Structure 1
Amino acid sequence: MQNAWKIPDLRKKILFTLLVIIVFRIGANMPAPFLNMEALAGLMGFVTDSSSANAFAYLNTLSGGAFAQATLFAMSVTPYINSSIIMQLLTVAIPPLERMAKEGEEGRKKIGAITRYVAVVLGLVQGLAYYLYLRGSSYEGTPIVTYTEGAAGVFTAIVIVLVFTAGTAMMMWLGEQINQKGIGNGISILLFAGIVARLPDTVNILVQALQAAWQAPDSFGQYYFFVPLFVIIFLAIIWVIVFMNDAERRIPVQYAKRVVGRKMYGGQSTHLPIKVNMSGVMPIIFASSILTIPSTIQLFVTPTGFWKTVLDALSTTGWVYALIYFLLILMFAYFYVAIQYNPIEMANNLRQNNGTIPGIRPGKPTSDYIQKILSKITLIGALFLAVIALLPIAFSAFTGMHNLMMGGTSVIILVGVALDTMKQMESQMMMRHYKGFLD
């Protein structure tokens, strides 16, 4: 860090990134107008509790607590993330978008512009849904929204929804500013800052648990063991994520020699790297998004009979939830790899460049061999993600500490963004012939 700080360009980028994070945290604490903040705090106290698995708790974690306070950045970067995922899937499914993606820099700019427009629309829809929920909610008889009837109610609705939508657009703009003038990926950095902002709450809960064990050892003495165990598991998860982030399977490739004019090209041996965790955190995001639906439904309705039994079985403390979560992560991991990697296209590219895998014939045998390796590697990566995602649930069930914010998604995002940012700084320092962080 000292070497990075000595480089004027890097120092400016670091300071600019920190400035944007400060702006983001200020906006995350500026509440929308026409809301009763005391009633809102009471309502969201249990709705977004970290032990819950509803959509509100999920959004609150990613927004760094801004969602529960209904602030300018309440929607966080989730509309942009959802828009990016939608465009990524549509690019594979719709030929015009696929051709646009292959047009180079101009095509990527067009897709980026469409992604931003879709994100604003999603932010508008999400902001409207959040306003309707606040409008229909109250806490101990006190309404959350100050004005709900007549012309004043219409004006209030327009202002609140536009504030949330403007926050979505501003978050995208801040992320793009980091991309251009700062360090790291802008949207990832803002997501990182939001999750980090929630970590002091976890530390506070651990301190309170130790204080309870000190004051009443007969009732809470087990926390002397559970709190250090939590810290050890947290550090172990970070180590495993760092290890798996760089793990890859290298397929050896041999390029044939060819003569062009008086020069000879090729003949070298190299490898085709395939990352173990190819899908990143996406399978966990998809799976958790689906499993938040039952808990979110329970916020709006009070089920009875058969439906109550089903929704209770899908609660975060049940084994059915854990089993379905595990299967969904495996399914989405294979789905995401299937739309990102095409073994036939990889085999054709090797053949066009006179490359072969030793012992494997070109063409279909090569594509079958690559497909077989992809299936095995995807299974290992999916099992890794499933273990990371389910370990916090198992810890909560074992210890009874359900109010800890240690979601697998959050930890993977934190570590992944930190590693990517460090690598960017490392590469820029290496260009200036400085020793890096790892030396």
Structure 2
Amino acid sequence: MKKFFTTLSNIWKIEDLRVRITNTLLFLLIYRVGSFIVLPGVNAASLNSSQNKEGLVGLLNMFAGGSFSRSSIFALGVMPYISASIVVQLLGIAVPYFIKLQKEGESGRNKINQWTRYLTILITGLQAIGYLKSQVSADAMLISNPYFTILNTCVLTAGTLFVMWLGEKITDKGIGNGISLIIMVGIIAQLPGAFVTEFNNRTTGAGGLITFIVEIVALLGVIMFTILIVQGTRKIAVQYAKRIVGNKQYGGVRQYIPLKVNAAGVMPIIFAQALMFIPATVAQFFPNAASNGILIALSNYNSWEHNLVFAILIILFTYFYTAITINPKQMSDDMKKNGGFIPGVAPGNPTTSFIDDVISKITLPGSIFLAIVAIIPALASMIGVSSIFARFFGGTSLIILVGVVLDTLQQIESHLLMRHYDGLMKTGRIKGRTAVPAASGATPPVI
């Protein structure tokens, strides 16, 4: 406990770190206050009974910190921005113009960010119209259409752009990745209510207090397992040749390229979830089709058909996203330019093949891990855990929480170590999402 308070004291002594943490907390407070401001022309008293918190709506509501179900001005949160970022990343693979921008350094990144913002406005406008038509019932509207739709489409678009601006300010003036922190705060905001709901269900119904304690222990075990895999790396030794310049010797040292077991992060789950929403949409357009039973089964969150297809898609998308974010050819070329080589492997194509083979081997357990984590919430629901509490047993929410917390703690520890203070831990260091040396060729995921 003394070590803990000493660490907090050291954090507060560093002026830059103290200002960054304070700014982060203030920006997040602004976001949380805004998430309770209801859209103009909406009767808040009529929303509670009309909102469905299951399935897709429940997932979006979790990411938005409850704003989705409250019809807040931040109801859409940062999800349109995330969607736009994914689209731009994919365009950077297939469209020559965006491929060229990626190679132009800082100016290219600025143009890509500008295109992402434009696309965010377009996606937010379309999603806002769909949200108002599907989630706000007629008895909750205090203003007649079409004025209600036009007004609140503008408000929702402005709200998403403001949240995006808050995220960028947190990244610039605060600590950690702003967009990720906003999503994390939204997820954590749902945790106390989920705990209370599950506790009441167990103490007043089946299972009792012992079952609730077992669930908490299981949740902690899943979190520990997730941390272990998220931080897991396969280190490739790189030897740099010696160079004599004057009377000094340069190089001749051995470094390591840490290839992450879960290099794709949470993106494969997001891609797979987007595809798993298609069967439910198709079933609505063809209610009398002979294959409608299969579509309903695939859209059922707790069915084995849904979870099997979901797991297969995650494994496939893990390989896909890893392939587009890690470039073994670029890693090999950069090592060769810097006079580095992998011991026992010839430079050039053999090095590229070696790195590609290692990535393929470690991606398999990483993809299986993601698939298991993604279907754990469904398995928890099948054994009686409430759907709200079950979402914290895995899936996108758990990986985001673990990744963002590790990333933020790693940045705080870097500030401490740079100023010759002890780190956050007595032994070892928080690895989190540390930078990959020696030109990894990897682009960090959006989330």
Normalising by structure 2, report the TM-score: 0.87
Equivalent position of 2:318 in the other structure: 333
CA distance in 2, matches of 1:212, 1:179: 44
Equivalent position of 2:66 in the other structure: 65
Equivalent position of 1:276 in the other structure: 261
User: Residues 235-273 of structure 1, C-alpha deviation per residue, up to 9 Å, x if partnerless?
Assistant: 112112222222111112222334567765433222222
The count of corresponding residues between Structure 1 and Structure 2 is 416
CA change 1:178–1:357 in 2 (3 A) is same
Equivalent position of 2:27 in the other structure: 20
Which of 203, 206, 220 in structure 2 is aligned with 1:235?
Answer: 220
Residues 198 and 386 in structure 2, CA contact (< 8 A), matched pair in contact too? no
Equivalent position of 1:310 in the other structure: 294
In structure 1, what residue type is equivalent to 2:406? Answer: L
User: Residues 6-40 of structure 1, C-alpha deviation per residue, up to 9 Å, x if partnerless?
Assistant: 33332222222111111111111111122233333
CA change 1:160–1:285 in 2 (3 A) is same
Deviation at 1:227, TM superposition (A): 1.7
Equivalent position of 1:203 in the other structure: 195
CA change 1:95–1:306 in 2 (3 A) is same
Matched, 1:180 2:172: yes
In structure 1, what residue type is equivalent to 2:360? Answer: S
CA distance in 2, matches of 1:228, 1:392: 17
Equivalent position of 1:29 in the other structure: 36
CA distance in 1, matches of 2:78, 2:225: 27
Q: SS at 1:146's partner residue?
A: coil
Q: SS at 2:73's partner residue?
A: coil
CA distance in 2, matches of 1:232, 1:303: 43
Equivalent position of 2:432 in the other structure: none
Deviation at 1:365, TM superposition (A): 2.0
Equivalent position of 2:272 in the other structure: 287
Deviation at 1:41, TM superposition (A): 2.1
CA change 1:400–1:242 in 2 (3 A) is closer
Equivalent position of 1:107 in the other structure: 108
Deviation at 1:203, TM superposition (A): 0.9
Residues 91 and 101 in structure 1, CA contact (< 8 A), matched pair in contact too? yes
User: Residues 341-361 of structure 1, C-alpha deviation per residue, up to 9 Å, x if partnerless?
Assistant: 122222222233332222222
Alignment of 1:108-257 (within 5 A): 108-134=109-135, 137-138=137-138, 143-148=139-144, 153-213=145-205, 220=206, 222-257=207-242
Over aligned residues, Cα RMSD in angstroms? 2.2
Equivalent position of 1:9 in the other structure: 16
Equivalent position of 2:53 in the other structure: 48
CA change 1:42–1:293 in 2 (3 A) is farther
Residues 238 and 343 in structure 2, CA contact (< 8 A), matched pair in contact too? yes
Residues 134 and 145 in structure 1, CA contact (< 8 A), matched pair in contact too? no
- Report which stretch shifted further, 257-266 or 373-382: 257-266
Deviation at 1:324, TM superposition (A): 0.7
Equivalent position of 2:405 in the other structure: 418
Residues 209 and 227 in structure 1, CA contact (< 8 A), matched pair in contact too? no
Residues 250 and 273 in structure 1, CA contact (< 8 A), matched pair in contact too? yes
CA distance in 2, matches of 1:424, 1:390: 31
Equivalent position of 1:429 in the other structure: 416
Q: SS at 2:146's partner residue?
A: helix
CA distance in 1, matches of 2:72, 2:354: 52
CA change 1:13–1:294 in 2 (3 A) is same
In structure 2, what residue type is equivalent to 1:48? Answer: K
In structure 1, what residue type is equivalent to 2:62? Answer: T
Which of 383, 392, 395 in structure 1 is aligned with 2:380?
Answer: 395
Alignment of 1:260-275 (within 5 A): 265-275=250-260
CA distance in 2, matches of 1:306, 1:224: 46
Equivalent position of 1:216 in the other structure: none
- Report which stretch shifted further, 310-319 or 400-409: 400-409
CA distance in 2, matches of 1:271, 1:418: 25
- Report which stretch shifted further, 105-114 or 194-203: 105-114
Normalising by structure 1, report the TM-score: 0.89
Equivalent position of 2:443 in the other structure: none
Residues 198 and 385 in structure 2, CA contact (< 8 A), matched pair in contact too? no
CA distance in 1, matches of 2:196, 2:286: 33
Deviation at 1:301, TM superposition (A): 6.3
Matched, 1:98 2:99: yes
Q: SS at 1:74's partner residue?
A: coil
Q: SS at 2:236's partner residue?
A: strand
Deviation at 1:306, TM superposition (A): 2.8
* Structure 1 gaps, min length 5: 214-219
Residues 134 and 144 in structure 1, CA contact (< 8 A), matched pair in contact too? no
CA distance in 2, matches of 1:57, 1:302: 25
Residues 64 and 187 in structure 2, CA contact (< 8 A), matched pair in contact too? yes
* Structure 2 gaps, min length 5: 1-7, 427-447
In structure 1, what residue type is equivalent to 2:130? Answer: A
